[in-house]
Chain A
Amino acid sequence: MEIVHVYTRLRGEFGRQCLFSDRPAELLVDVPPDPRLAQDFIQKNPRDQALQACRDMSEHQVNTERFESDSCGINHVEGGWPKDINPQEMEQTIRYRKKVEKDESYVNSLLTLGSVMEHCIRQNNAVDIYQEYFEDEDEVEESPEPPSAKTINVFRDPNEVKRTVSCLSWHPDGGKLAAAYSCLQFQRSSRDMSLDSYIWDIENPNRPELTLKPASPLVCLEYNPKDSHTLVGGAYNGQIAYWDTRRGSQPVETSSVEQSHRDPVYKIIWLQSKTGTDVFSASTDGQVLWWDVRRLSEPTERLVLDLSREGNLDRALGAVSLEFESTMPTKFLVGTEQGVVVSCNRKAKTPAEKIVCSYDGHHGPVYALQRNPFFPKNFLTVGDWTARIWSEDIRDSAIMWTKYQTSYLMDACWSPVRPSVFFTVKMDGVLDVWDILFKQNDPTLSLKVCDEALYSLRLQDNGRLVACGSQQGGATLLEISSGLSTLQKNDKSLLAAMFERETKREKVLEARQREIRLKERSRSEQSREGEPGREDADHGPDQLIAKAQEDFYVVTEMERPTCLKVGSLLVAVPREISIIPNLAETESVGICKEIT
């Protein structure tokens, strides 16, 4: 190659400070392309070139050490016999043992151990050091835990259109819950609303265990306490249907439409009878019917809830709840829509005597009615915004009642375990637990179960599980804390004393009322001969109103200024001032605008 450019530098100038200066660019080398070099190459067109656009990866091998594990068990059959002795052979083992026994150290140590052992044995025998003291004494109030309840499961209506859970019934053994679904609001049920009711297994909230398919939605449902396979249900159209769970979802028998109720059957209860097949049902059409489930074509007996005892269906009270206590098989209570609880006797001679007496206390339908399982003479009713406890003997009023709650009470029941505890459900979705020995004014425990209204409530026989059903078809299962579900020692006696005290109070009040009434009656008889204008407390309300009206007008007349016409003006003059003879002289007469 030829030298293109030469740089020279004097040796003496090495290391000298560089002094840079600007100067324009100058072309140093220009190597033009030499076409002659291209002749060494052949052009290849087209050309195949594979390309891959991906991440660079490398391959690498790793080998771990093999770890072998093996399971084996050790069977300790015989102790560590020395090698020369075969443990299976009795002779050798016995010989060995004898040899050991002769050893001196063996003897010494054994003697000492023997005495130690004896000492401990004697200790054991002398006093049972592990004896439980204070076992018989009742456990002193284990730190009173605040009452509580927790939700265990919620069973929801699997259908699209949600219906109200109108009734719940526990299986006699307690593992299953039967729920009746229906739409209780007038004419709200839609065409595609399912008619089914379900039996749920409490362990499985996802799917109902059995579906019951009646002809019309069930309003109430009840397990037979004697035979846990049979159920009876009352339907929206008034029919009664009888199921056997072994036989499937269809009712075994349904009552005939003509002979059944004409309104939804609100409550149905199994009776105690020898055959165990009797039920009775109540409905708002005013009838209470008795049936034998083997023959549902017609009721065995009929009672019309007419308080005038004439059996007149038009004047009958609609029944909404029913109560039957197996200890009093001939008497039963019916709660009506009108707020009256009627006590009836089934075994009365004439139909007129069937209705014994009535208790009037509620302003609205009596939705729940139950006798106290420990004190059957007292029963609990729920209706309008209060819950009331009654004693059978006092007709006029309840012996105890709660204050008016903020929302309507829909159902209530006593605890089967504690006589002083009862539960109520309200329309705002709250479950209240009342313990009247603890607090009478407020519920002991108040739980908001759900946002919609709760319609039904049922406690299991063990007193710990409670199921409540809501308007949107959700049945919630709750467990109550043990404080509210175990019987305390003094419960019964304290409650008996409380009921007696309240009953006595009511009796005294009743007696006093009667006295007052008697006195007034006698007084009014006397005054009728005396001055007619004398104000008597005996006046009926109409008369009082008329008199009040009269008094009012008189007073207003007196106060009201009268008008005098002076010329073309109406002049207001207070009444007390007498007419001034010479109007022109005075200026004290007010001139006012026209009084119409």
Chain B
Amino acid sequence: MVLCQVTMLDGSQFTCEAEKRAKGQYLFFKVCEQLNLLEKDYFGLCFKDNADQKCWLDPLKEIKRQIRNGPWNFSFNVKFYPPDPSQLTEDITRYLLCLQLRQDIASGRLPCSFVTHALLGSYTLQAELGDHDPDEHRTDYTSDFQFAPNQTREMEEKVVELHKSHRGMTPAQADSQFLENAKKLSMFGVDLHHAKDSEGVDIMLGVCANGLLIYKDRLRINRFAWPKILKISYKRSNFYIKIRPGETEQFESTVGFKLPNHRAAKKLWKVCVEHHTFFRLMTPEQPTKAKFLTLGSKFRYSGRTQAQTRQASSLIDRPAPYFQRTSSKRISRSLDGAPVISVTSDGSGPLGEKENGRDPALELSSDSKDEDEMPGDGAAAATTAATLDSAEEDAEESEAILRKGFNAQDLDKTQDDVLKHQASISELKRSFMEATPEPRPSQWDKRLTASPVTSLRLQAQGKSPPRMETFLPESKDVAKSADNKQKSEAVAVATTATQPVVEIEETVIVEEVRKTPKPATSAIPEVHAAPTTEPQAAAVAAKEASASSDSESEEEAEYHPQITSVSVEQIKEEPEEEEQEEAELNKQQHQPEPSPLPQPIAETDPEPEPAPAPSQPVIEDGTPDTKEDAQPPMEVVEDDGIVEEEMMVTPEEAPNGYSAAEGQGLGSLEEEDQEPRVNGDALHVDTDHLPQVICCSEPPVVKTEMVTISDTFAAQKTEIATKEVPIVHTETKTITYEAAQLDGSGDGEPGVLMTAQTITSESLCTTTTTHITKTLKGGLSETRIEKRIVITGDSDIDHDQALAQAIKEAKEQHPDMSVTRVVVHKETELAEDED
């Protein structure tokens, strides 16, 4: 056991013990329990890293791994500043937010004018001291409070003056007033990060509920609302956002910023991912199973979103909990004048408080209301495959039972019973509060198990197996490619759709860039500590269940915020979903729920792609239907698959309670289902198709990201396009293996391009470019998906495994398509790439 010290918002210290291997959430829940806080999703624990930088404690990771050798000292802080604090359910939550803001203001982090300092200060006094009392409140009574970074006598006088005017205001009302004013401050809830723009000018990047703000000095020079941002990524110390094209622009642009170091870039990226998820999405992005490669930071926000936490808190039905204000030791009153638990200020020591904290009065909801009131959960559980929802359902069930028990019990039970009962209630309360954010499997996943595609994909895969045996361990530094081509059974699938014949083809290009070993980053030990024994880079290929490459050691990662419409839709649709009854929910298994189905990222990427370039585009892009109709099923697969890939979360990072049950469950299901098949495939290929070398040419080019670094006046000036080409000496070898069988797709008559889209996704060590083209050639509809995956690793990559995994995942993603070409291109970096 280790002793943890947590500095609370009121400055007090909370000490508790935690097991050495305890996860962040253990401690966090302990703290919330101590505080009697239910709306905890806005908060988090911070610690200082080696560089004395404040970091958020990841609830899903072991504390020890995060703080490393540092002391087990933490501080409890607001992580997500609710833009509208009046929507918080409980006064205690608002109180804690006030405490945080007072800190922010006093430290100067939240700047405000003299007048605002005075006004906010006066509400603080009213909340803490009550009405101004001329006898008690002499001139210096304000000196215990810090209202501003540099508080003057004049300001204190002004504060007192205003304090007098608040007569009659309850502490809770004063807090509310404080928040109503503080929330309007322009820097409220803005998390600032130092950076430089493309010209090396110092700027600040501010992450807030609405998006990303760019400041130069104190001027806001640009703002990117979340809906404008298509992608957030970082690479080494660079941070990039890809901007949705405006009405008049044709292409999206990428704006790059230089952060002081890699760690800062990653930190900023994480903050963005979290804020976007928390404030924009209905539910956090869920871990997915079928993905192409699992390299890169799989970091995703794992907690509840604001929408979820609001929903959960709407179920809070307890008398306003008693809590002690820092200085006044007065009893808080709730806004609505709910009866106050009468504890005299003298008797309300920590003990009394704690007992009060366990007040059994907590009743989450009545049994009868349960079904109706937790529709979100219900829906989630119901639409989930039966195996998945057990964890949560159990929780709910036990909760219901406990509650019944409680209701039945009488007040005349022994004190002991009461205490025990309180303990269970608080346990139950916790499980309830934790239960909600269960990541729902994507609709596609659900459909996959039910739709006919699944069965077909088995057949399809049996026939077009890539040859994996060719990738021998010693060939590591040699690039090669294999190619297999085959018409797949998917044709049959597609014929059920409207098109006469659909020929589906998938091209997988796996490019690997291998660097010479780099100086080990501090995170490497973590990698080893992870359940997987594979070195970080090799983890690319690791099955998702074990894909635990530690995010700390990641060089880059990316995040595609869900397209606005989707998230908006999600939020809008949710209530409907909630109202749906069981019966309907069953139906939903076969019908894609509109909400979690991500729309395809339809981009017209200027990036040139070596893709079949059919003549003229006829249709830009068909928005995929959320219903299964005339669309060939694989379209959904593609879209979904791609998004999934970007939204994956490792099971490890999923919350404990249910992840194990769900994420792992999924993973194992998957494996049972598919693993053997892949192996079988490989063998099959080996005998069937001996690949032959076709070409061995590829210029020694380091695959680099081409970014348009527009300066931060993006809206104002024309962009300055730059290519960032790191000088890296490389050795390159490319061998392309192609299968003997060639289909006529690439040649002859030019088809009519129906849709073409290129999706680039980057993560720490991989860059995946997916190029999807649909062409119509004389009644034949052909979909070609080309994936280019660049794996960057600084340790030996198990190429065989990486490739095998890539192919496997490609097939899982597009079960009704066949892999026709695999090109492996390998580069070994000779020069060390400094970070």
**A and B are interacting partners:** no
Instruction: Give residues in A with beta carbon < 8 Å to B.
Output: none
Instruction: Give residues in B with beta carbon < 8 Å to A.
Output: none
